[in-house]
Structures are given as C-alpha cells and as structure tokens.
Structure 1
Amino acid sequence: MSPDIRTEQLPKKSSALKWPLVASLAVNLFLGGILIGHVYSEGLSHFFKQSRPTPYMTQDLSPDARAVAKTVFAAHAPRVHELWKELREERKILQNRFSAEDFDEAEAQKALAEMGRLDSLIQAEFHKATLEIARQLPPEERRKLNLRWKREQREHHPGKGSCGKDEPPARPGGGA
C-alpha cells in the first residue's frame, strides 16, 4: 500500500527568512511614505531646493527676471563648484587628522581655518551673484525676490537668527 499524500508530513518551510523580509518591507513602506508625504506637502521644487536653489528662489519672478538670475548664477557656478570641491577635500583631510593615531591639534586647526576660508569664499561668490542680479532687476522684481527670501527664512528658521539662537526682541525706536 502506498502512503496517502494527504496524511504524509511535509517538511515545514523555515520562517527564519520570512520575518526579516516582512520587517524590511514595512520599513521601506514607512520611509517611502515619509518621502512621498514630504514631496506632497512641500512640492518638488522645495524638496530639491538644496541642489537647485535658483528655480526655488526665483519662482515668483517674471520669466525675464528668472532668465537674468539663471544666467548670473550659471556664470558663477563653476567657481562655486570648484570651491565646494576644495571644501570637500579639506573636510576629508580634517577627518583623517581626527582619526589618526597621533592627533596633531595644530594641523587640525589649520584644516579648520582653511575650511572656514573656503566657506567664506563660497558665501562671497553667492553675494557677488546676488548683487549682480539686483543690479539687473527692476525694483518690483527685486521686491519679489526679497519677499521670497524673507519667506524662506521664516519657513525654515522661525524665530531664529543666523546663528540659530532666538533673536532678541526689537528695541523701541528701531535701534540696534
């Protein structure tokens, strides 16, 4: 007599792999939901604004004014990218100095000073571009750009000064 297939014990599948896969799927769905929610609530231009600041900051301007800003920023982009590359390289040097067996504080201070210098040069390049744009825009377009800039600061740094500390209340009479 042959054994009945229905009554024969089949080997149980291992659940050792099933639970990590389910957990991984749950985490991926959660993170995907956060990403989609952020893009949905803030918009794509806001989501990618760190890598593409020109379209975000100039979206309220007329097409002609946007073209001016794009041209000016494009002219300054090679210098900014060159400085960012130098800054990344200097950061790697500093990281190597911090993780070295024999820590040399003087060398680390030099690397930090160089990073500060490069950061200042990047800011100066953005300031030059901003001034060039301001010279070429009519007053109404400059006002629109300024309003966008103020709104950006309020949205991302509410109640904060440039150093991240609470700003003191304004003095009566507008004194500094």
Structure 2
Amino acid sequence: MTASLVSGGFWVDTEATTLREADHLLQSLAAELAVPEGVFGCTHLMRGERPRVVLSFTRAPEETERSLALKGYEVTAGAPDEVGRAVLYPGVSQLTGTLTVAEMVSGSAIDRVVVLGTSGEPAPEQRILTRDFVRPQWRDGELLLTAMPAAGGLLVPFEVPDPTPCCADH
C-alpha cells in the first residue's frame, strides 16, 4: 500500500510553528475540503530563516490543490522533503484502541513497525496500544511507525498525543 511521498502531490506553506498546530490545520482543511480517505497528508519541519511546519498532500484530487490556492495558501508541486510525518493516510481512522502489529500493517498504509532500542521488528502478534494517535514517518520510501515498550508487555507509538512542552514547569 506504500505510496511515494515525493511522487506527485504538492505542499502548502503555513504559519504553523508546532506539530500540534499543523496537525489541527491539516485535519481542519481536510474536513473542510472533503479530502477523501486515500490521501496522504503529512507535516514537515522547515528550518532556516523562517522555521515553521508545512503540509504536504499526496494522492489528493486536483480540486484540493486549487481550493487551497483560492484560500490564499502558497501551494508548490512535489514535497518539501522525503521524511514527512503522516497525519492523514489510508486506514488511519481504524487505528484505535489496541491492535496487533499485523492488524496495523494490514489495515493501514503503514509498511512496518520498528521498536526503539531493538534491531529487529516486533512479532506480528505483538499488541500496540494506539492511544488513538498514530503518526508514522516516511523513511527510505516506507511509512514506518516507531514504537516503544510500555507497561503490560504492550508497545505504544513513540510520539505521544499530548506532549509536555519543554520547560512547562517554569
């Protein structure tokens, strides 16, 4: 089910400065423009003079690109890089609760699950508590979910839904 992030598609410049803000913008635009489920919508960190988080769309209908341009967004063909963080992708709506690795891979666009600190892949029957927040990343043309061990022998996605901001206690 893999699709190349850089083949086709377009990216949208934004003023978003955090992943959370970019996730919300991506999901809001997708809902407003009725983007179909087979579309890949990713976030990309842009560094340099104007740090921000931009959005990319792959497999989106042409009218999505036109609608975004009409809304005043700067739209550019291609992808800003090859390592986008997927927010929208085929099967994402089914990744809720606790699933096995096999269910996750067979039911979504995720190609593989890797576990921090290990060299191999988890067994197909290994259970993953999704926390209803699964953000795989493109790496070498594959959509990979990085997971980490959790209590009770489960895995959880490495990225947490509500991260504590740096220096939150100051």
Identify the TM-score tier after normalising by the shorter chain: under 0.3
Structure having the higher strand fraction is 2
Return the index of the structure with the highest Cα Rg: 1
Q: Which structure has greater helix proportion?
A: 1
Q: TM-score when scaled to structure 1?
A: 0.19
Q: TM-score, normalised by structure 2?
A: 0.20
